[in-house]
Amino acid sequence: MSFELRDRDLMGRTGRLKTKGGTVETPAFLPVVNPFLQPISPRRMREEFRCGALITNAYILRKHFGDLPELEVHDHLDYDGVVATDSGAYQILVYGGVEATQDEIIAYQKRIGTDVGVILDHPTGWGVDRQRAEWTVEETLRRAQAALPLIDGDAALWMGPVQGGRYIDLVERSARAVGSMPFQIFALGSPTPVMERYLFTVLVDMVMAAKLNLPPERPLHLFGAGHPMMFSLAVALGCDMFDSAAYALYARDGRYILPYGTKRLSDLEHLPCTCPVCRRHDADELKGMLKSERTRALAEHNLYVSMAEIDAVKQAIAEGTLWELLEARSRSHPSLASALRHLANYRGALELGTPSTKRHGIFIYDSSSLARPEITRHIGRLDRNYRPPEGAERLLLVPAPSAKPFSDSEQYLRLVGVVKSALGCAANDVHVCFYAAPFGVTPAELSETYPLSQFETAEPMDRETLEFSATQAGRYVEANDYRSVFLLRGVGDLDVMVEDRCMKTCLKRGITFVVISDLEPWGDNAFKRIIKLLK
């Protein structure tokens, strides 16, 4: 196997997965193909929808055809892309068992020429008690170990499933154990009921429990993730591949998929999509079709939207805007918005996966943006690596100017000139820092460092963001050994909060604290007061 990583953002990455049947660009959506009932032919999926890989069910093929030695899965599907085959574990989850052993299913997948195979694990599912969940984890691990000699040396890639369901510690245990085995791809099982119930915060914990305990250099597949509105979330958590039949199942039920949700065709007066289906027909024409034709048209639309969203995710990773896409999609449903906020619990992991610099600035919309890796990184670097210039005993904390970079602004340059002119050599012990949302404190000499001058905020900022920023200002004062702190502040909410946090910190540490308050903090009167106090 070759898995070449290209771009990365958050925990998401784009890459190229080489299989014996071809190379797949990741993140990749693999449509589930029913080998006997399919509204879109696999050939059309390849040629018209640019689906480089799909997945079908080896157990169903075997049950229908038996062990016909001449059956080859690519020929049967008339598809020349990468074919993955599931083992029948989903049937275990739904029906309680399958009429085959793992040895038989693995041998069958090898015989029909699958490019990516799955061992016959035992899904945990949803709603089971802990004892049952523990049994499914141990049984899956037992089967994974037993599968190794059966797949050793095979040209196909094989997935090692991770189980545990909603029991996060079991997911961690399962991931560590299967991650020590030589599977080329790992897969998180049992997420479908979580997604069907819109329990996206649970999904975040499940995926992160697996991802943080698996070898990072190998791909992670997420079973049953088929709605495009959550692709960006799953990729941001580190998932490289997905599979689902949602595009076809929704079509049979008259449901119309969009990147931001699902609508019933019966409720639509217009088609808010630019795919070929929606440009050829209007809503009334789709409603008036025979059911079989309508199902096929909706399946095509749903698949177009799904593939387009995967491309949008890839592009976002390439240009470093995955967080922006994730924030936009989080407005699709309150549960997705909750999941976005829940990412704050994994700040460190998200920061490690994000490049230190990007080709563009970042946008801060509200408190949901506070978990952005760029903010986490700035605060961490200030805490761990930064110390004020040698000899700087007095901190002059000033509101950030309107122009960026702050240190090149007319207000700052005028302030520095006034201070140096009035104090002479004594000005060397005055250290100027800016305060602003969302980064808290920006030392003047760092203000051109990415992204401290490459960000835009939505105004007015919400109170949680202001409180977060003011708290960071207080933490900065506490972490550094200034003899005195002079706060030049305006009269806004952030100014008042910064004064409160800094004053409490200075009282706690016995540091002299002086406030220069002015309606025009960058005006001549404020400057005169600063000089008088500094002298």
The catalytic residue positions are 86
The secondary structure element, H or E, covering residue 207 is: helix 200-211
Please name which of 120, 118, 119, 122 lies closest in space to residue 136, comparing C-alpha atoms.
122
Please enumerate in sequence order all residues whose Cβ is within 8 A of that of 289, keeping only pairs 6 or more positions apart, or say none: 297
- Rounded to a whole number of angstroms, the distance between the first and last alpha carbons of the chain is 69
Residues 370-377: contacts with CB within 8 Å, 24+ apart?
370/344, 370/438, 370/464, 370/465, 370/468, 371/340, 371/341, 371/343, 371/344, 371/347, 372/323, 373/10, 373/323, 373/347, 374/451, 374/455, 375/438, 375/439, 376/347, 376/348, 376/350, 376/351, 377/351
Asked if residues 246 and 227 have their Cβ atoms less than 8 Å apart, the reply is yes
Q: CA 29 → CA 54, 82, 127, 149, 353, distances in Å?
A: 8, 12, 27, 29, 22
Please tell me the distance from the alpha carbon of residue 19 to that of residue 374, in angstroms, as a whole number.
35
Please enumerate in sequence order all residues whose Cβ is within 8 A of that of 116, keeping only pairs 6 or more positions apart, or say none: 19, 53, 55, 82, 83, 84, 85, 156, 157, 158, 159, 185
Asked if residues 106 and 143 have their Cβ atoms less than 8 Å apart, the reply is no
Give me Rg for the CA atoms of the chain: 28
Classified as helix, coil or strand, 261 is strand
The secondary structure element, H or E, covering residue 442 is: strand 440-443
Please enumerate in sequence order all residues whose Cβ is within 8 A of that of 199, keeping only pairs 6 or more positions apart, or say none: 335
Classified as helix, coil or strand, 86 is strand
Please tell me the distance from the alpha carbon of residue 98 to that of residue 120, in angstroms, as a whole number.
10
Q: CA 133 → CA 166, 167, 274, 345, 383, distances in Å?
A: 9, 8, 44, 25, 42
Classified as helix, coil or strand, 85 is strand
Asked if residues 271 and 250 have their Cβ atoms less than 8 Å apart, the reply is no
Please name which of 303, 305, 330, 309 lies closest in space to residue 198, comparing C-alpha atoms.
330
Category of 365 on φ-ψ map: left (φ > 0), alpha (ψ -120 to 50) or beta: alpha
Quick one: tokens of 194?
């979580």
Please tell me the distance from the alpha carbon of residue 294 to that of residue 286, in angstroms, as a whole number.
6
Quick one: tokens of 111?
């015989």
Please tell me the distance from the alpha carbon of residue 181 to that of residue 329, in angstroms, as a whole number.
35
Q: Please return the burial class of 421, using the count of CB atoms within 10 Å of its CB with bins 0-12, 13-18 and 19+.
A: exposed
